[in-house]
Amino acid sequence: MTHVTLLGKERAAPFVFAAGHGFDKLRALLNLWKGLQQNGAVAEAIDYVATEYRRRAVRAARESTD
């Protein structure tokens, strides 16, 4: 059984934004996506992940030039 969790770091810890479980990683991610759809949180999740990705990419780029 595989578990995937999207944690909300801007909220009080531990805040699980979404979770999915499945036989393999693909099914776990699909279940996570279905849960986001059912809760009407797809746009919020995409925005959160994109913001975190940009923040980490900028930090990694700065650290690699130091």
Mean pLDDT in residue range 36-48:
87
For position 24, what pLDDT does the model report?
A: 92
Residue ranges covered by each domain of the chain: 2-65
Q: What pLDDT band is residue 1 in, cutting at 50, 70 and 90?
A: confident
Contacts of 25 (CB under 8 A, 6+ apart): 2, 4
Contact 16, 45 (CB under 8 A): no
Mean per-residue pLDDT of the chain: 83
Provide the β-strand partners of residue 22: 2
Distances (CA, A) of 62 to 5, 9, 32, 54, 65: 28, 22, 32, 12, 5
Provide the β-strand partners of residue 17: none
Q: What pLDDT band is residue 23 in, cutting at 50, 70 and 90?
A: very high
Q: Is the pLDDT of residue 10 over 80?
A: no
